[in-house]
Structure 1
Amino acid sequence: MDKLIKILPPPEFPQKTGDKEQWGKFFGALGTELPTDYVKFIEIYGTGGIDNFLWILTPFVNDENVNYLGRQKEMTDSYIQSKKNFPQYYKHDVYPSSGGILPWAYTDNGDELHWLTDGKPDEWKIVVYESRSPENYTYSLTMVEFLYQIITKELICNAFPDDFPSDETTFVSVNVE
């Protein structure tokens, strides 16, 4: 997390970071805990996105664009429909199936970022599905490692456009209800 903070400064006043009780209620509603680095990221950065392009889902807002449970249901339902129509292309199951995918972010282009829920949450891999495509990429990285490597351009994800991330990447804090 420290390496990420150096290259992606958090907002001075992060929005909707949650407290211990709120996290407990959220995990209960979701049916699982999430990776530790995701929780830490939300606690430090709050609600928002990277370069006005990659939006992190958060449990503590009602806004339909970034509300974790609402957007997770929408993304999962869409994936299930795509898998039903094109099973040869959509190979993953969805959470709560063991090893199913569980979303944590999306891009303005419609690319979806998921965890592959195999093993304990801190062991989950990252799966990125390209927008309007069955193309997907799996990374044996945590969320924060993935973000760090994307921002530093150590990792190039073919799902993302050439102009992301920008040369001066910023976290855009969003104050929504």
Structure 2
Amino acid sequence: MTQQLAELCGLVPPPAEPVRADWDEVEHDLGLRLPTDYKGLVDRYGDSELGEFIRLLDPRTLAPTAREILDDEIPLRAQWPHQYPYPFHPEPGGLLGWATSRNGDWLCWLTDGDPHAWPVILWQRRPMWYHRHEVRATGFLHGWLTGRITTLVLPAQG
């Protein structure tokens, strides 16, 4: 367990029995390798809610959810391309959601390059707004929960 994940577990105790993922199957369905910090996070928390505002997605739903988002957003992107600076997975290098907020915002990765270097993109769908964070999933959650990462979309913590 990484230091950041250990500190996160101290801030938000993980559930006794989180949902377990078959990572080979999840990655096969996505056609992507996933960051190891995220796997450790999900192995500890499953699809739990953190900070009473962010819910980790069950990893088994990542691929179908990505296809659903792409289908929903393609017609809108065709009408308003300036509001869509990023592609959507399964498009190459596309956004892939891994958590949601109670307000319907998405925490995504920009899946370009090495999975261990994917930035977190906070995506507010309506009205359209993006905020890029050069941290991994665990780092984002830890930073937000301790108040070191702030954003206009998520309520202040820490």
Alpha-carbon spacing, 1:76–1:113, altered in 2? closer, same or farther (3 Å): farther
1:128 aligns with one of 117, 122, 127: 122
State the Cα distance separating 1:32 from its structure 2 match.
Answer: 0.7
* Number of the residue aligned with 1:111: 105
Partner of 1:13: 17
1:118 aligned partner, one-letter code: D
Q: Distance in 1 between matches of 2:91 and 2:67?
A: 14
Which consecutive unaligned segments of at least 5 residues does structure 2 have? none
C-alpha distance in 2 between matches for 1:109 and 1:95? 22
Percent sequence identity over aligned pairs: 29
* 1:23-172 map, 5 Å: 23-60=23-60, 67-162=61-156, 165=157
Q: How many residues align?
A: 154
The alpha carbon displacement at 1:133 in A equals 1.7
Query: What secondary structure does 1:88 align onto?
Result: helix
Structure 1 runs, 4 residues or longer, greater than 6 Å off: none
C-alpha distance in structure 1 between counterparts of 2:38 and 2:17, whole Å: 18
TM-score (norm 2): 0.87
User: Is 1:3 aligned with 2:7?
Assistant: yes
Q: Deviations over 1:91-132 (max 9, x none)?
A: 111223333211111112111111011211111001111141
Tell me by how many angstroms 1:74 deviates: 2.2
Residues 115, 83 of structure 1: alpha-carbon distance in 2 compared, 3 angstrom cutoff: same
- Per-residue deviation, 1:150: 0.3
Give, in angstroms, the shift of residue 153 of structure 1. Answer: 0.7
How big is each residue's C-alpha offset from its partner over 1:9-45, in whole Å with a ceiling of 9 and x where there is no partner?
111222x212xxx211121111011111111111111
Quick one: higher RCO (CA 8 Å, sep 6+), 1 or 2?
A: 1
CA RMSD between the two structures? 1.8
1:33 partner SS: coil
Superposed displacement of residue 71, structure 1: 2.4
Equivalent-residue separation in structure 1 for 2:75 and 2:98 (angstroms): 19
